[in-house]
Amino acid sequence: MLSHNTQQPLVEYRVALVRSGARSIWVQPGNGPMLLPHVAVSSQTRIADQLQRIIWARWNQRAIVLSLLSAADKLPPCVVAEVMTSEIPSSLRAVDLSKIPTEELSAEERAQMTVILDGGERATGPFAGVGWMPRVQVLIQSAVGSDPLLDDIHQVNFGDQFALISFRTGGGQTVWFKATGAPNTHELPITKRLAGLAPDLVPRMIATWDGLNAWLMSDAGQPPESWVLQDLEQAAIVLAELQRRTVGSGDDFRLAGASDLRTPTLRAALPEAMEYLAAVMSKQESTRAPRVSRDRLRELECLLRDASFLLDELNIPDALLHNDVNSGNILFSGSKCVFTDWCEAGFGNPFFTFQHLARLQPDKDRAWNPQLRSAYAQSWLGFLTEAQIQQAFVLTPPLAIFSHFLRRGDWLRSTERNNPSVESFARSLARHMDRAAREPEWMEAVCR
């Protein structure tokens, strides 16, 4: 019998360990040149979380990942992490930046390291240089009345203007600090508006700091390790209730930065989007997945336009769309379920997000669809008729994929459109859209 290798591929990194108030870097001592420590992390999981664990396990140091330096030729990528103590492990040695040879740290990386060690005004963002963690700790202490514990920090994301870290406070409370920079500055105002409308259906917002574009949330639980029908049904009920509370608030959410994904906007974007999909399909080299022909894409453009008009005729009110539904953005704590991470939020037909949620069921044949549709419909009955609801379930699958493809829309006119990974993702969505538009139930509804 053939064995199945589930081991995830590893990526090697150089690690530059630094600390606030010092201009030295911790290196591995030896008779030869000063070398940065090297570690290997999985390519399938978040870098920051793994690095924190490795630094603790190898050197008994609590650390925060600050930056990923620009790549150097023939060298593994280099991450910079700030250690939270001044005690240097016996296996490492602190040396001045100038003592590290250019073969180990390129001139460009050295310049970036200088800015990081300087911190302050030269930094390219509030989280780009050393020393920002103590300032955040003070903010959290003032918000919750208890000091965050350095030995219980869990970092999920990092960047010059981005942070996502959980803290355990001396009072036993777990809180999450999140900050977003360009191009995602809209997530804070969207989250604030949503917290006002549905405070019980999102993580509780404790404090905000507009200068950092940051906020503090209470811990709202964990994402499911695997989906069971009961949990996915609960998520569908919570989603519908949350969306109902946003009906009539479209102008507020769009002003806050939510993308316009209403059906007239989708229709207007169809010609340009389909032309782009035809172009990226022509670049496909692999024969493992079928191409969607230009003629079929033209046909899809007409079919999606017709479906959008039929959807308009149902007079379903627009509501908030998540547009990035995945297991990590749905949190459970006991019997309570909340939605988080509204960076890709839009406003449009609410059934689009239901279709995204339905894709989380582990059965590719979507055997749970009847139960999930029933759960989602509960909150809409009385607000919509049974006929409106059932027809929306039928019409929205391909349009929901298109809304996810379009996202904020502006990327179609940016250099992002030429990114090979974006092109590959677009081809994948085009194939999904094509399959959804071939479903007999959808074809019958659109081509009646």
Tokens coding 33: 């040149």
Residue 28 lies in a domain: yes
Contacts of 262 (CB under 8 A, 6+ apart): 250, 318, 347, 348, 349
Residue 224 lies in a domain: no
- 196 and 287, same structural domain? no
- 46 and 173, same structural domain? no
- 104 and 79, same structural domain? yes
What pLDDT sits at residue 8?
A: 63
- 137 and 116, same structural domain? no
How far is Cα 153 from Cα 15, in angstroms, rounded to an integer? 19
Tokens coding 92: 């490492």
What pLDDT sits at residue 285?
A: 83
CATH number of the domain residue 374 falls in: 3.90.1200.10
Residue where a domain stops, chosen among 95, 122, 149: 122
Phi, psi of 443 (to 5 degrees): -60, -40
What pLDDT sits at residue 148?
A: 84
- 278 and 162, same structural domain? no
Query: Within 13 Å of residue 337, how many CA atoms lie on the same side as its CB?
Result: 19
Residue 431 lies in a domain: yes
What pLDDT sits at residue 385?
A: 97
What pLDDT sits at residue 6?
A: 45
Residue 408 lies in a domain: yes
- 312 and 254, same structural domain? yes
Residue 223 lies in a domain: no
What pLDDT sits at residue 244?
A: 97
Residue 168 lies in a domain: yes
- 289 and 432, same structural domain? yes
CATH number of the domain residue 173 falls in: 3.30.200.20
How far is Cα 69 from Cα 106, in angstroms, rounded to an integer? 10
- 239 and 165, same structural domain? no
How far is Cα 322 from Cα 334, in angstroms, rounded to an integer? 23
Number of domains in the chain: 3
User: Along the chain (448 residues), what's the average pLDDT of each consecutive run of 10 residues?
Assistant: 51 91 84 83 85 93 90 84 87 89 87 84 79 91 87 88 92 94 94 97 96 96 94 97 97 96 97 95 86 96 98 98 95 94 97 97 88 96 95 98 88 86 92 96 92
- 388 and 245, same structural domain? yes
Residue 4 lies in a domain: no
> What's the domain range around 153?
132-218
- 405 and 294, same structural domain? yes
For the chain, give the secondary structure using H, E and C.
CCCCCCCCCEEEEEEEEECCCCCEEEEECCCCCCECCEEEEECCCCHHHHHHHHHHHHHCCCEEEEEECCCCCCCCCEEEEEECCCCCCCCCEEEEHHHCCCCCCCHHHHHHHHHHHHCHHHCCCCCCCCCHHHHHHHHHHHHHCCCEEEEEEEEEEECCCCEEEEEEECCCCEEEEEECCCCCCCHHHHHHHHHHHCCCCCCCEEEEEHHHCEEEEECCCECCCCCCHHHHHHHHHHHHHHHHHHCCCHHHHHHHCCEEECHHHHHHHHHHHHHHHHHHHHCCCCCCCCCCCHHHHHHHHHHHHHHHHHHHHCCCCCEEECCCCCHHHEEEECCEEEECCCCCCEEECCHHHHHHHHCCCCCCCCCCHHHHHHHHHHCCECCECHHHHHHHHHHHHHHHHHHHHHCCCHHHHCHHHHCHHHHHHHHHHHHHHHHHCCCHHHHHHHCC
Residue where a domain stops, chosen among 169, 185, 218: 218
- 349 and 277, same structural domain? yes
- 420 and 318, same structural domain? yes
CATH number of the domain residue 22 falls in: 3.90.79.10
Residue where a domain stops, chosen among 218, 243, 262: 218
What pLDDT sits at residue 2?
A: 35
Residue 127 lies in a domain: no
How far is Cα 219 from Cα 240, in angstroms, rounded to an integer? 22
Q: Which of 49, 57, 53, 64 is nearest to 16 (CA)?
A: 64
